[in-house]
Amino acid sequence: MAPLIGVPSQTLQAIDGIPPELPHSWVMNHRYFTALAGVGAAPVMVPLLVRDIAALRGIFDSLDGVFLAGGVDVDPASYHEPRQALCGRTDLDRDGVEILLTQWARAEGKPVFGVCRGLQIINVAAGGSLLQDCSDFEGSIKHDYFPTAGHARDYLAHSVAVERGTRLHDIYGADEVVVNSMHHQGLKTIADGLVVSCTAPDGLIEALEVPGDTFCLGVQWHPEMLVDSDAGTRRLFRAFVDAAAGYREHRTTRPDATTPPDAAPVIHYGS
C-alpha cells in the first residue's frame, strides 16, 4: 500500500480576503496533495482538532508521515514572543495541531517534511523562534515573491548554498540550488538538535534537518511547484515518501491514542 501522509489543514477564515461570515471551514492547497501523490504517497488532509487530542492522536497513529505545508504566518504566541507590526494573519489552531504532530513524529521517528511555513513549524516545535518579517534580518534580500504581487509560483528567485554532508545535499547532489521564494518570515533562533542544511545569499537559513536516520527536514521554498520540472526536487519528495514507506513497513506497535506525550506544548487559542 502507498504510505499514508497527513497534511494538516488551514482555517479558511485565516486566509486574507476571506469573508469571516462564511461557515468555519478547513482547507488546503491541492498542489501539495498532487505533488505527494505523484511520487507514490496517499496524502490525506488532517482536520484541526486541536481541542480533541484523543481524536487527533488517533489520526496521527494511522499516518506513516507528516507533511507540513505553507500558509499564513506562525503566531508569535506559539514561540512565546509578542506580536510585531509586520506579523500577518495567523491561525493558532493550525499552529497547535502542527506543533503536536511534529513533536509526536520526532518522538517516534515518523518522517516529517515541511515546506515554507512547515520549515518554521519544525523549528518552533523543537523550541526555536522566528523572524516576524525578513526585514529584521540584517542585509536581507527580497524573499517575498508572492503571487498576489504578480509573480508566478514557480518563479526561480534566488540560489541557496547547500551544506555538504547533509541529507539535503545527498538528495540534490549539488552545492547550489536555485529556488522559488514566497515568504516574509524566517528562522531566528535555531532549536537544539536541528542542523542547518542551506542558506540564501544573504545568510538567511533556508533549510533545517535532524541528523541521523530519521527523515525530518524542512525547506523555506515551495518545492511542490518545482517537482514536475526539476529532478532534484522530485528526489526530495521521493526521499520523504520512501522514508514513510519504510516507517510503515517496520513499525510494529503504536502509542496509546488517548495519551499525548509529556512534550506536548501549551496550546494558545485564538478568539
Residues annotated catalytic, as ranges: 116, 222, 224
Pick from 216, 227, 238: which is nearest to 40 by CA? Answer: 238
How many Cα neighbours within 13 Å face the side chain of 158? 22
Strands 26-27 and 130-131, bridge-based pairing: unpaired
Q: What are the C-alpha distances in Å from 147 to residues 33, 74, 152, 159, 182? A: 20, 20, 6, 19, 8
Pick from 144, 27, 22, 154: which is nearest to 88 by CA? Answer: 144
Q: Where are the beta strands (DSSP E) in the chain?
A: 4-8, 10-11, 26-27, 42-46, 65-68, 112-115, 130-131, 158-162, 176-179, 186-187, 195-199, 205-209, 216-219
Residue 173 grid cell: 547532489
Residue 27 grid cell: 482547507
The contacts of residue 62 (CB under 8 Å, 6+ apart) are 4
Phi/psi at 269 (5° precision): -95, 140
d(CA 87, CA 64): 33
